[in-house]
Amino acid sequence: MIGTEPLEQIIETVVNTSKMGFPLSVILIGPSGCGKSSLICKYSGIGFCRTDSISSQGLYDICERDNKNEIKYIIIPDFNPTMSRKSSTVDGTLANLLTLTADGTTRIDDGRSKKEYRHDPIGLITAATTEMYAKHERKWYNLGLRRRIMPLFYRYSRETLSRIQDSVDDKSVILKGLNVIEYNFFEDQQRVHIADVKISEKHTAKIRENASILALYMGKTRAWDGDGRGSKWFTREVLPITPHLALQSIVCANALKNKRMKVTDEDIDFMLKFMRFCDPEHPCEL
């Protein structure tokens, strides 16, 4: 898809974090019509479970049916419908996503005898509009979801919009952008432990430095004025521990994607590209 190459590379690397047993989760945040759902729908394969909407019951049923632990990622092209339900339903769904991505646990209380199911941790790749995320961003912070399902913020530059408009009648360009990427999570049955991917002291220092910056990004929240027209940003505290683990996973996954068991400067450069999408106040321009 035109202009989304950096974001496609990030999602591909995020998918590779599943090789280390704890898949990283992301939610793409951008204006309506900027290709979020189309980008997510490109990913397919045995390890992906695609659904249009989700609830606590739906998450439980997905895990219970997958007794071989084959599912590594749940794909939800548009998270807006899920977040548009009544508040109590949204809270229950988000709480279950938090535990599912953390340790693979889902819980439900609908009268069935078995109220909890344990699966391997499952990652989430989804998308929402800027407006819908802004409506729920405090809840995303209060539940700790920003640390588990990392929001990636972007928008199109005028140049990219012009390129898209120029190609809108070129069917070959449109069809090329919709090619499905098939993944086989089971080509290499041996799971890689993150400790097996070597990181030098120099690269560890860069990860630690950027983890503090990422923690600031995760803590950024908007305060709206009384009529809801204007806003200002303030930063709430987020400890840099989880951001450090997330960035460590990103650099190791990028190394694995490139068939390496050692982090290099190339992986650190990729981490810095990833960071460009993490500041809600300044979305990355593609």
DSSP 198: B
pLDDT value of position 75: 94
Does pLDDT of 132 surpass 70? yes
**pLDDT band at residue 180, thresholds of 50, 70 and 90?**
low
Q: Which of 16-20, 87-91, 119-123, 221-225 has the highest mean pLDDT?
A: 119-123
Which residues, 6+ apart, have CB-to-CB distance to 273 below 8 Å?
A: 6, 9, 10
Mean pLDDT of 86-92: 83
Give the model confidence (pLDDT) of 150-178 as tens digits: 999 998 888 877 776 776 665 555 445 44
Residues 58-81: tens digit of each pLDDT: 899 999 999 899 999 999 999 998
Over range 118-123, report the average pLDDT.
93
Q: What percent of the chain is modeled with pLDDT above 70?
A: 86
Confidence of residue 234 (pLDDT cuts 50, 70, 90): confident
| Lookup: tokens for 173 | 């360009």
pLDDT band at 92 (very low <50, low <70, confident <90, very high): confident
Res 228: pLDDT: 57
Residue 199, token pair as written in the block: 């990181």
Structure tokens at 243: 């951001």
The arithmetic mean of pLDDT across residues 141-152, rounded, is 87
- What are the residue ranges spanned by the domains of the chain? 5-285
Three-state SS for 38-76 is HHHCCEEECCEEECCCCCHHHHHHHHHHCCCCCCCEEEE
Q: Whole-model pTM above 0.75? A: yes
Displacement of CA 248 from its chain's centroid (Å): 15
When pLDDT is averaged across residues 35-54 and rounded to a whole number, the result is 84
Q: pLDDT tens across 1-19, in order?
A: 666 888 989 999 999 998 8
Q: Give the pLDDT score at 251.
A: 96
Pairing of strands 43-45, 181-183: parallel
Tens-digit pLDDT profile for residues 186-215: 555 456 778 889 999 999 999 999 999 999
Query: What pLDDT sits at residue 175?
Result: 46
3-state class (DSSP) for residue 144: coil
In angstroms, the CA 193 to CA 175 distance is 38
CATH number belonging to domain 5-285:
3.40.50
Cα distance between residue 278 and residue 237, in whole Å: 16
What average pLDDT does the chain have? 85
Beta partners for residue 182, in sequence order: 44
Using a pLDDT cut of 90, give the percent of the chain over it. Answer: 45
